[in-house]
Amino acid sequence: MSNQNRAGQKPKSKGGGLQAKQPSPATDVICREVKVVTVREEPLVGWEFCSAPCHIFALWRKEIMRSAWYHENKEHLVCICLDTRHQLKNFSLVSIGSLNETIAHPREVFRPAIADSAHSIMLAHNHPSNNPNPSRVDLALTRRLHAAGESAVPKNAVASGVQKEVPGPIRPDAH
């Protein structure tokens, strides 16, 4: 009979009680199954097409600024997800910042797009100062998001069953 109880713990030799079994890195692998659910869904009438800055500005003024989480004296970064016809699928708050900046990691920016299988995204944020010029932080975030998005794009493409090589570090014939 084994010297372990049902919890996989070995009894202590002196003083009673239980001693926890130490995990072995070679045998104990943990894998999570993740489920993504929609929290709320409301129809947005009149937002069939979103492909230009003027559409995003109108969406911001008529929908985003009226959201319960919006505060006019803080920067907000919003991910706007589009389908293949550039129709609005959803918008999602990514970050609420301070008076003059908001901080976001690419994983938080791209999460809503991946979760909703968006074809493309547009990002929007406000400047409570009403200065339309991008700050150094804005430019740095833009560069970081562009690099992260580029690294997520496959370096080869398959069309009509024929693989065509696209310049990049991954080569289908290099094994």
The per-residue pLDDT for range 84-94, each reduced to its tens digit, is: 888 888 889 99
Separation CA 157–CA 141 (nearest Å): 28
**Domains recognised in the chain with CATH numbers:** 53-152 (3.40.140.10)
Grouping H, G, I as helix, E, B as strand and the rest as coil, residue 11 is strand
Give the pLDDT band (50/70/90) at residue 171: very low
- Show the tokens assigned to 116: 């909703």
pLDDT for 28: 74
pLDDT for 57: 87
Give me the chain's average pLDDT, please: 75
pLDDT tens by residue, 110-149: 998 988 889 988 889 999 998 888 889 889 998 998 888 8
- Helix spans in 79-135 (H): 106-115
Q: When comparing pLDDT for 24 and 68, which is higher?
A: 68
pLDDT for 34: 73
Give the pLDDT band (50/70/90) at residue 71: very high
- CA separation (Å) from 138 to 59, 75, 93, 107, 158? 21, 11, 17, 17, 35
pLDDT for 19: 58
